[in-house]
Amino acid sequence: MAKALSRNVDPILWMEKGSKIKSVTKKSTLILYFTLLLLFLIGGSLFYVWSRIQVIQLGYEISNALKEGRTLFETNKKLKVEIASLKSYARIEKLAVEELKMSKPTPDQVIVIR
């Protein structure tokens, strides 16, 4: 036993000093680095896919907003035409004469305000 302890043996671990401990440590750090690299690549890929999906979704929202804007613009144009037709002096005069039984004023009934 004394011979076994004296020749290049660690008395605490009962192993030979050197290669096995270092190779296990190198392998475990290599595996750790590879795992971290793999996780980083997976995370980066997921972030890239998520950002592309967000861009596509925002594109759809912009397209829908533009379509709604065009619809509102056309409705606004139609309403302006309707307002103009309702404000028409010929229409107002026709309503006044036919429905309200009004007549044109005589010159002495007109008062000019300055």
pLDDT digits (tens, 9 = 90+) for 11-61: 555 555 555 555 668 888 999 999 999 999 999 999 999 999 999 999 999
Q: Give the domain extent around 67.
A: 19-102
7 within a domain of the structure (yes/no): no
pTM above threshold 0.75: no
Q: State the pLDDT at residue 12.
A: 58
Q: State the pLDDT at residue 70.
A: 98
11 within a domain of the structure (yes/no): no
pLDDT of 59-94, one tens digit each?
999 999 999 999 999 999 999 999 999 999 999 999
* Residue 83 and residue 77 in contact, taking contact as beta carbons nearer than 8 Å: no
Residues 6+ apart with CB under 8 A from 8: 16, 17, 18
With a cut of 70, say whether residue 8 has pLDDT above it.
Answer: no
* Residue 12 and residue 20 in contact, taking contact as beta carbons nearer than 8 Å: no
52 within a domain of the structure (yes/no): yes
Q: State the total domains in the chain.
A: 1
- 56: its two tokens: 């596509």
10 within a domain of the structure (yes/no): no
